[in-house]
Amino acid sequence: MLTGLILIMLALIGAMIFRQWKELAVRRIELQRQLAKREQLMEQFQGEITDTSGKLEEIRRWLDDANGEIEELKAETAELEAALARVREKPRTQLIVLDRQTMLAQTFWEVKVSNPDFAETVTARLAPPDYTRAWVEGRTFLVGADTPEEATARCAGRFASTLGYRVAPAVAYRRSMG
């Protein structure tokens, strides 16, 4: 009987060991399946990371190019602003219409009339400094005439050289009417 009891106990112990072994085998298979799934996901993520890294590098190159262009545009803007400031500081040449007949003409000419001795006249002493400087340096008149010679002659008839005026030859009108 004792041997029967021992055999029964050994059978029970063997059944328990077999059951645990079976559970462990099932658990091992499940873990291997999960590991394979995770390895597959890792490969997928690695591929996505590689693609994203390539796109990120492309975006970095694009940003570097854009930043370079921005710097060039800033430099160009600074140059243009400096040029604009120089233009704004430069005194503007006033264009004076010689007479009403000029407005009816088909062809316009610019004629510069100056009087270097104007600063010595009584009129200059009473006039503002800008007005005096304009006559000494020369004032530009808009003259309507068929030829440059005719435009020069019209100004010469109005501003006599005996009074110190100097009339430069007429040049074609260079400015916009707008």
DSSP letter string, 62-117: HHHHHHHHHHHHHHHHHHHHHHHHHHHHSPPPPEEE--HHHHH-SSEEEEEEE-TT
My answer on whether 66 and 107 are in the same domain is no
My answer on whether 163 and 133 are in the same domain is yes
My answer on whether 126 and 76 are in the same domain is no
My answer on whether 57 and 123 are in the same domain is no
My answer on whether 1 and 84 are in the same domain is yes
My answer on whether 86 and 104 are in the same domain is no
My answer on whether 29 and 86 are in the same domain is yes
What local confidence, expressed as pLDDT, does residue 178 receive?
42
**Count of structural domains within the chain:** 2
- Give the end of a domain, one of 60, 90, 120: 90
Strands 166-167 and 171-172, bridge-based pairing:
unpaired
Could you say which DSSP state residue 166 is in?
A: E
My answer on whether 115 and 49 are in the same domain is no
Positive or negative CA dihedral for 22, 27, 30, 36?
A: negative
Phi, psi (deg, nearest 5) at residue 80: -65, -40
Residue 65 lies in a domain: yes
Residue 108 lies in a domain: yes
My answer on whether 38 and 85 are in the same domain is yes
The DSSP bridge partners found for residue 114 are 166
Boundaries of domain holding 73: 1-90
User: Which token pair is 111?
Assistant: 């004629």
Whether the model pTM is above 0.75: no
Residue 168 lies in a domain: yes
Residue 177 lies in a domain: no
My answer on whether 149 and 73 are in the same domain is no
My answer on whether 86 and 2 are in the same domain is yes
Task: Count H helices and E strands in the chain, helices first.
Answer: 5, 5
Asked if residues 87 and 133 have their Cβ atoms less than 8 Å apart, the reply is: no
Asked if residues 152 and 167 have their Cβ atoms less than 8 Å apart, the reply is: yes
Give residues with Cβ within 8 angstroms of 132, minimum separation 6: 118, 119, 124
Dihedral Cα 35, 36, 42, 45, nearest 10 deg:
-130
My answer on whether 138 and 78 are in the same domain is no
- Radius of gyration of the CA atoms of the chain, in A: 50
What local confidence, expressed as pLDDT, does residue 129 receive?
87
Written as tens digits, the pLDDT of the chain (178 aa) is 778 888 888 888 888 998 999 999 999 999 999 999 999 999 998 989 888 888 989 999 999 999 999 999 999 999 999 988 887 777 666 767 777 776 777 889 999 999 998 888 878 888 888 888 888 999 999 998 889 999 999 999 999 888 889 999 999 987 655 4
